[in-house]
Structure 1
Amino acid sequence: MHVADAIAQILKAEGVKYLFAYPVNHLIEAAAKVDIRTIIVRQERIGLHMADAVSRLTSGEEIGVFCMQHGPGAENAFGGVAQAYGDSSPILVLPMGYPRAINQVQPNFNSALNYRHVTKSCEQLTVPEALPAAMRRAFSAVRNGRPRPALLEIPSDLIHAELPVPLIYQPVRKTRYGPDPEDVAIVADVLLEAQRPLIYAGQGIHYAKAWAELQELAELLEAPVTTTLNGKSAFPENHPLALGCANRSHPKPVYDFLHEADLIFGIGCSFSITSFGVKIPPGKTVVHATLDPADIQKDVPADYTLVGDARLTLQALVSAIRERLVSQRLGRAEALARRIREGKEAWLAEWMPKLTSDEKPLSPYRVIWDLMHTVDVANTIITHDAGSPRDQLAPFWESITPLSYIGWGKTTQLGYGLGLAMGAKLVHPEKLCINVWGDAAIGFTGMDFETAVRERIPILSILLNNFAMAIEIPIMPVSTAKYGSTNITGHYADMARAFGAYGERITEPDQIVPAIRRGIEKTREGVPALLEFITAQETAVSIY
């Protein structure tokens, strides 16, 4: 058996359904022979983003895999792997490498050397007989502990080499670990002693599938809940205790309750300092429960810590708290829910003029508001793009089912949302999958809308076109005035039609909802749809 065929057999055994790729990599043919669907993209980064979505939308149960050619293919792919590393997504990357005789020689790009800082596991196959163990290590890395990319480089002189022994491979099982029971007991007491506790939930909830346990703890403690951007949809945002997402832009109750809290309980989060999240106010008692010990005391000092899987941690805490409660109610739920509701109503009232604006060019907030009130939110998966789409969408989109919002942003590469939406549609063909992006983002990855057409992936793409990089206008006034540095242009509905998709440009407020309905209907017919809304150069965001 050749190395390429052995890799394909291992991928099949590990439950891999798709191989995202850009030629030339001989794994493409080998995967197709064993009925792994091969999806060829227009640029490497999009294939990695699609693999990323497969892993995210299955909570890491299915691993997204990408392969590419050596040299320029491996060089081009770097950004997509770095994005997955920054946002903790478990993907497997299988680049070809230069032949072993020259793979250490300048200027040949060596993936095993150059990807080490953006992968959890990174190695190069050196002899055919090492393949099963190397693949086992890679899958163990992506299935266990903190989710991040693993890479195995296959030198081109090995890809068709014969395995000297029969292939023997056992798929890797996921192993969970939980917190120290003594620490759980201490934290349970601390949580019950707090007068104004707040729960700050990250995407560890998604990977642990701890949605029910999170809700149980919140209701038991009668504590408000906010999520990180990556953790958005981990807690239903129509729940009486939901504050909304703690993105850079956020509902005002997030700010108010964070600052009022006497204790902040971070669960399934890293507490990483990022421009795309709120700052943890000083002077709070901080309890940090996370899967990765490296996050403990990294950016935010913690008074109490728990290390382990989020579901195991929450189950242990719920059990310990129930044992300590004299009554099943602490008595603050009704008043707390009322304050949250009133705070949200007051905040929405501030923004309602933009959310319901009849102005032209269209308000991007009106587009988002009408979109949310037109789709079946519970059966929709949506993701933003970098910049204005992220900051305009995240506060106002109310996610009510787990894994219905793909949040990201610690390293904010433009154009990321397109691949995420396509990957989401592959995982959930029964759901409406939407990416919301701007005219800057489509400039990076727009050609891969053709991939959606060619691969029959009927997503709904919402493009907010204001003919500018609007978020940069306030910080680039001179270069814009002199040289038009923030100005960009394009007719992207025409581009979509040229690819064979449904494309429509919308300029009138009363046509927003009808256009969305037409776009949804096209996706039901199996046709990708791009709706191009001509919007104002909006720079106001919900930051407090």
Structure 2
Amino acid sequence: MHRARAWAQLRALAELLEAPVTTSLEGKSAFPETHPLSLGSGGVAMPRAVFEHVRDADVVFGIGASFTATPFGIRFPTAGKTFVHNTLDPGDLNKNVPTEHALLGDTALALDLLIEAVRERLGGGPRGRAGGVAGRIQEQTKPWLDSWMPYLTSDETPLSPYRVIWDLLHLVDVERTIITHDAGSPRDELSPFWRPVAPHSYLGWGKSTQLGYGLGLAMGAKLARPDRLCVNVWGDAAIGMTGMDLETCARAGIPILSVLFNNFAMAMEDRIMATSRERFGTTDISGDYATTARAFGLHGERVTEPGRIVPALREAIAATEAGTPALVEFVTTREKKYSTFDYASYQG
């Protein structure tokens, strides 16, 4: 979808069909998530509306998507579903989902033709069911979001990473912000709650890319769009992989904002590495990254209290606007909680 730059056509077709829209993590920001027909994005973590619509749909239309099976994407149960698949690559067809209707070709051109055909079938315009669809999405989204508000607004210390994300979301101009997660926990904490409205304003990734990849993405985004606030959200394991390139940001004058969650551990691996952690401390990490950032020439601050989250972010953003890259290190809880759903066992 992003590669075809078919964002306007996607919105036009969704409004014509009055159909709910979800994106993959890589496709996030192709459809504005403030739109009443938006479910949000799918992946390892996702809003409840995404899960329930994917589970209950009898027709799924994949637009500019590969439908590749991956633990980092939406897992589509196929029983009782009809799949319509638009892709440029014939190797994607029937690879992981059974495709009954294949639309092979450029996504923008395919959507142009489809919009014309659907408009003719509908007699010129939609039939007025969008309000009911949007109402169902809201019925799913509100209780889900309400259940997360204790984490999104938590005053506890160590800090909740969700509180940092929530405060950042409500501090910045989302439309003029380009943000990316890192692998692991930052990805699964950020993606369900960040609601992009402009194409290419969320750089989603996953699969086999290494920890620390988000730093380079944010640097590249800033070089391409110097007028935007460019943010990478990462953890202490990720900065351990590529953190020396913060010096590159300072030396080369690339004023990005790095939001670092430091819980002194690769906590996502606590369960599966329990034995090696107990014997060898394999998931434990240490470091004072704000001090390191200042030594490299960045604006750097370590935050341990919830009342300091917004002021620290505001000062860091001001530093980037003045041309200085910034890192704000938030000391966060080791406890992990993700918005995940099990397709096999979930009973609604």
Q: Which TM bucket (shorter chain)?
A: over 0.9
Contact 2:22-2:41 at 8 Å conserved across structures: yes
Letter in 1 for 2:37: L
Distance (Å, rounded) in 1 between the aligned partners of 2:71 and 2:6:
27
Partner secondary structure for residue 435 of structure 1: strand
1:215 counterpart = 2:24: no
Residues 86-116 of structure 1 deviation map (CA, whole Å, 9 limit, x = unaligned): xxxxxxxxxxxxxxxxxxxxxxxxxxxxxxx
Distance (Å, rounded) in 1 between the aligned partners of 2:209 and 2:156:
30
Within a 5 Å distance, the mapping from 1:369-384 to structure 2 comes to 369-384=166-181
Q: CA RMSD in A?
A: 0.9
Residues 381-406 of structure 1 deviation map (CA, whole Å, 9 limit, x = unaligned): 00000000000000010111111000
Displacement of 1:328 = 2.1
Distance (Å, rounded) in 2 between the aligned partners of 1:326 and 1:446:
57
Displacement of 1:529 = 0.1
Q: Higher mean Cα deviation, 297-306 or 323-332?
A: 323-332
State the match for 2:34 in structure 1.
Answer: 238
Moved beyond 3 Å, runs of 4+ = none
State the match for 1:103 in structure 2.
Answer: none
Partner secondary structure for residue 112 of structure 2: helix
Contact 1:501-1:527 at 8 Å conserved across structures: yes
Contact 2:78-2:97 at 8 Å conserved across structures: no
Distance (Å, rounded) in 2 between the aligned partners of 1:327 and 1:378:
31
Displacement of 1:327 = 5.9
State the match for 2:145 in structure 1.
Answer: 348
Contact 1:421-1:434 at 8 Å conserved across structures: yes
1:252 to 38, 48, 51: 48
1:517 counterpart = 2:328: no
1:265 counterpart = 2:61: yes
Distance (Å, rounded) in 2 between the aligned partners of 1:413 and 1:301:
31
State the match for 2:86 in structure 1.
Answer: 289
Contact 2:178-2:201 at 8 Å conserved across structures: yes
Distance (Å, rounded) in 2 between the aligned partners of 1:372 and 1:419:
22
Residues 139-187 of structure 1 deviation map (CA, whole Å, 9 limit, x = unaligned): xxxxxxxxxxxxxxxxxxxxxxxxxxxxxxxxxxxxxxxxxxxxxxxxx
Distance (Å, rounded) in 2 between the aligned partners of 1:346 and 1:308:
40
State the match for 1:396 in structure 2.
Answer: 193
Within a 5 Å distance, the mapping from 1:159-170 to structure 2 comes to none
Distance (Å, rounded) in 2 between the aligned partners of 1:396 and 1:426:
26
1:320 counterpart = 2:117: yes
Partner secondary structure for residue 286 of structure 1: strand
Contact 2:255-2:323 at 8 Å conserved across structures: yes
Displacement of 1:242 = 0.1
1:435 to 232, 246, 259: 232
State the match for 2:2 in structure 1.
Answer: 206
Displacement of 1:339 = 1.0
Distance (Å, rounded) in 1 between the aligned partners of 2:175 and 2:200:
10
Partner secondary structure for residue 2 of structure 2: helix
Question: Structure 2: which 5+ residue stretches go unaligned?
Answer: 342-348
**Count of paired positions:** 340
1:424 counterpart = 2:221: yes
TM-score normalised per structure 1: 0.62
Distance (Å, rounded) in 2 between the aligned partners of 1:331 and 1:522:
48
TM-score normalised per structure 2: 0.96
Displacement of 1:478 = 1.9
Residues 39-80 of structure 1 deviation map (CA, whole Å, 9 limit, x = unaligned): xxxxxxxxxxxxxxxxxxxxxxxxxxxxxxxxxxxxxxxxxx
Partner secondary structure for residue 291 of structure 2: helix
Contact 1:364-1:538 at 8 Å conserved across structures: no
1:447 counterpart = 2:244: yes
Partner secondary structure for residue 303 of structure 1: strand
1:491 counterpart = 2:288: yes
Contact 1:501-1:530 at 8 Å conserved across structures: yes
Letter in 2 for 1:211: W
Distance (Å, rounded) in 2 between the aligned partners of 1:330 and 1:304:
24
Partner secondary structure for residue 305 of structure 1: strand
Displacement of 1:331 = 3.2
Letter in 2 for 1:226: T
Distance (Å, rounded) in 1 between the aligned partners of 2:301 and 2:186:
19
Distance (Å, rounded) in 1 between the aligned partners of 2:97 and 2:239:
36
Letter in 2 for 1:510: G
Contact 1:251-1:395 at 8 Å conserved across structures: yes
Q: Higher mean Cα deviation, 301-310 or 437-446?
A: 301-310
Partner secondary structure for residue 270 of structure 2: helix
State the match for 2:333 in structure 1.
Answer: 536
Question: Structure 1: which 5+ residue stretches go unaligned?
Answer: 1-204
Distance (Å, rounded) in 1 between the aligned partners of 2:143 and 2:97:
31
Partner secondary structure for residue 207 of structure 1: coil
Contact 1:384-1:407 at 8 Å conserved across structures: yes
Distance (Å, rounded) in 2 between the aligned partners of 1:484 and 1:252:
36
1:468 counterpart = 2:265: yes
1:304 to 90, 93, 101: 101
Partner secondary structure for residue 208 of structure 1: coil
Contact 1:433-1:459 at 8 Å conserved across structures: yes
State the match for 1:410 in structure 2.
Answer: 207
Distance (Å, rounded) in 2 between the aligned partners of 1:501 and 1:458:
9
State the match for 2:300 in structure 1.
Answer: 503
